[in-house]
Amino acid sequence: MSTRPTVLITGASTGIGAAYAERFAQRGHDLVLIARDQARLDALAARLRSEHEIAIDVMRADLTQLDDLTSVEARLRDDTRIGILVNNAGSALAGNFIEQSTESIAQLVALNTTALVRLASAIAPRLAKAGTGTIINIGSVVGLAPELGMTVYGATKAFVLFLSQGLSQELSPQGVYVQAVLPAATRTEIWDRSGIDINTLNEIMEVGDLVDAALVGFDRREPVTIPPLHEAESWDRLQSARQGLLQQLRQSAVAQRYQPQH
């Protein structure tokens, strides 16, 4: 049994989640793996147990279903061994907004935002009380770019970034590290599942490279890690500009340009 904190990973059967499972197993962490595909979860768990001699629990769960979601929440609240949550489960959606069904949009929002924030809410009080722990939320650079046309998906990922930054402000003084990871296009099954042809994309990052980079940011305790961003100063300038804008806001006075013209 590992003395390191157990890591609970959602969307763990393939792609980014499976790569996180592999990397944390290599580091000697016990795992709790969550996904819908029981067979894939079992196969991954069996291989990692054999290769790394760690304890792995598997929970089959569809996080858009309330009963499944509340079961995972209970595990996060009650299992004091779990010290790291990787909020990775997510999906995308093909087409533009008016082509997408209301039901498909609701499912996307339920998985990408509602499930993510509920799981963070389930574990955060316990971590804060303990004075240690980590929440890793997988966002996307699409959340910075409405110009890319993935309106609802991008909106959910903008939520993930804002939530992560807000939680970092609240929880870091209590010893809890919160990291937002913002991939660009990465070679995972999310594209096929959402009906998007990956071959139409110009550049694709390999999933192992993405997770390795994200873990460099994790080890550095970065609040926001953007593996495809080559100039870190660009992010710093964006944050400085945002903070400068906030300083110009005056709640008691309407800006001159909005004053009625007589």
Q: What is the mean pLDDT of each run of 10 residues along the chain (262 residues)?
A: 87 94 98 96 97 97 97 98 97 90 96 98 98 97 90 96 98 98 72 57 80 97 96 96 92 87 78
Amino acid identity of residue 55, one-letter, is A
For residue 54, being part of any structural domain is answered with yes
20 is catalytic: no
Taking the whole predicted model, whether its pTM rises above 0.85 is answered as yes
The range of the structural domain enclosing residue 30 comes to: 6-232
Annotated active-site residue in 20, 153, 177, 258: 153
- Alpha helices per DSSP H over 53-150: 66-78, 102-109, 116-130
**Residue closest to 19 by CA, chosen among 3, 38, 33, 2:** 33
For residue 46, being part of any structural domain is answered with yes
For residue 241, being part of any structural domain is answered with no
CATH, residue 172: 3.40.50.720
Q: In angstroms, how far apart are the furthest CA atoms of the chain?
A: 79
For residue 180, being part of any structural domain is answered with yes
CA angle, residues 208, 213, 217, in degrees to nearest 5: 145
Amino acid identity of residue 221, one-letter, is R
Number of domains, the chain: 1
DSSP state of 248: T
DSSP state of 257: G
| Cβ-proximal residues to 201 (8 Å cutoff; 6+ apart), any chain | 185, 191
For residue 88, being part of any structural domain is answered with yes
For residue 89, being part of any structural domain is answered with yes
Distance from C-alpha of 179 to C-alpha of 216, rounded to nearest angstrom: 12
**Residue closest to 32 by CA, chosen among 157, 132, 161, 119:** 119
Q: Identify the pLDDT of residue 106.
A: 97
Residue 95 CB burial class (10 angstroms; 0-12, 13-18, ≥19): middle
Which residues are bridge partners to 177 per DSSP?
Answer: 134
For residue 109, being part of any structural domain is answered with yes
